[in-house]
Amino acid sequence: MTSPGSASAGNATVGLPKTLEWVGGDDGFLRLLDQTRLPRDVVFLDCRSAEQVHAAIQRLSVRGAPAIGLAGAFGVCLGAREWLERDRRDVERFLKGVDEVSDYVGGARPTAVNLVWAVRQVREAAYARRDAGVEAAWKAMLETSRRLLAEDVEICRQIGLHGADLIRDGMGVLTHCNAGALATAAHGTALSVMYAAHAAGRRFHVYADETRPLLQGARLTAFELTASGIPTTVLCDNMAGWLMSQGRVQLVIVGADRIAANGDTANKIGTYGLAVLAKHHGIPFYVAAPRSTFDRSLSDGRGIPIEQRGAHEVRGVGGSEVVAAGAEVYNPAFDVTPASLISGIITERGRVEPVTGGGIAQIFA
């Protein structure tokens, strides 16, 4: 169903619908797989405005740091197109519109730095072409977004290749939330490592934390991995420690939403606890992420903003209210794992191992 001019990515390699794609040419739209409906329903959201993309990011129809970044990039293009259509001659006014829509889309969620990063690439593309006029500036934005999408596919593939040797025959590999093809243009980050090891013929078993409150592990990771033929067991988050103590986990790999200059890593809530448990059991704990997930403006994890989400995500399970009305709810969407608990970070440029500020600086050299 992809038109000739569409930019999209290779989830077909793992038997999955596309996470996101730009359908059509300059008058096209962003098609997102609505991940809130998985695994039951495969439904797409066609976004034709920045507001629709903003809402889709906020309600987690698209989620995962790299995928949020890409959706945000196309979202800015959609918002800027409205400015283009209003006035095709006043470049300064157009750029002011681009600034506005960039701030709006870039602020949809606070923790994943990829969103800010991708939006900045697109905005800068417009500024770089300001002398060529409004239409050229806008085309440069769309071109940049398409390029980021294509690059993400290759970056994720490289992450997989750089991590694959960590997985050996017979291992139990634990992961949390979904850092898979559904969190990126294709392949994923943590799961790309598993796909690469699987493609290399290694036999291993994946344990997927269900990941309350929104169950991305149960709904998305199990869906992806089983679709790819990788044996997968889902467990409740509170079972991970016991599973480790039983000798069934030899490796933990998770994704990331923002990594500070020293390697402190924000990722889905629960990651920090897993890292402590892994350390207690002597199990290697790896983070897989592209360079766009690093925020080297922060010296350590203390500066990473942690999104607090609505109580309804915890209170309501499958549509019915389970928490007594008088009780409060704690619902941070992310936590920060200190670099000292991370064995290594797997990037498209190789592994940072051990995790040090110097090692991280090198992958940007």
Q: Which residues are catalytic?
A: 257
Q: How far is the CB of 281 from a copy of itself (least distance, A)?
A: 8
Contact set for a copy of itself, span 323-342 (CB under 8 A)? 323-332, 335
Q: Within 10 A of 331 (CB to CB), how many other CB atoms are there?
A: 17
Q: Using the rule CB under 8 A, which residue among 233, 284, 296, 359 binds a copy of itself?
A: 233
Rounded alpha-carbon distances, angstroms, from residue 51 to 78, 80, 160? 9, 12, 34
Q: Enumerate residues 6+ apart whose C-beta is below 8 A from 227.
A: 14, 15, 16
Q: Using the rule CB under 8 A, which residue among 93, 96, 203, 280 binds a copy of itself?
A: 280
Stretches 120-128, 193-201, 202-210, 249-257: which one binds a copy of itself (CB under 8 A)? 202-210
Any contact of residue 219 with a copy of itself (CB under 8 A)?
A: yes
Q: Using the rule CB under 8 A, which residue among 9, 125, 208, 287 binds a copy of itself?
A: 208
Phi, psi (5° rounding) for residue 357? -60, -40
DSSP β-bridge partners for residue 344: 286
Q: How far is the CB of 246 from a copy of itself (least distance, A)?
A: 9
Phi, psi (5° rounding) for residue 327? -90, 145
Q: CA 111, 117, 118, 123 torsion: positive or negative?
A: positive
**Dist. CA 116–CA 127, nearest whole Å:** 16
**Dist. CA 178–CA 160, nearest whole Å:** 15
Stretches 47-55, 109-117, 203-211, 349-357: which one binds a copy of itself (CB under 8 A)? 203-211
Contact set for a copy of itself, span 52-91 (CB under 8 A)? none
Any contact of residue 41 with a copy of itself (CB under 8 A)?
A: no
Give the containing element (helix H, strand E) for 265.
strand 265-268
How many residues bind a copy of itself (CB under 8 A)? The answer is 61
Contact set for a copy of itself, span 122-181 (CB under 8 A)? 176
Contact set for a copy of itself, span 252-271 (CB under 8 A)? 269-270
Closer to a copy of itself at the Cβ: 24 or 170?
Answer: 170
**Dist. CA 264–CA 355, nearest whole Å:** 9
Q: H/E/C letters for each residue in 22-44?
A: EECCCCCEEEEECCCCCCCCCCE
Residues that bind a copy of itself (CB under 8 A): 39-40, 176, 207-213, 215, 218-219, 222-223, 225-227, 231-243, 245, 269-270, 272-274, 276-277, 279-280, 314-332, 335
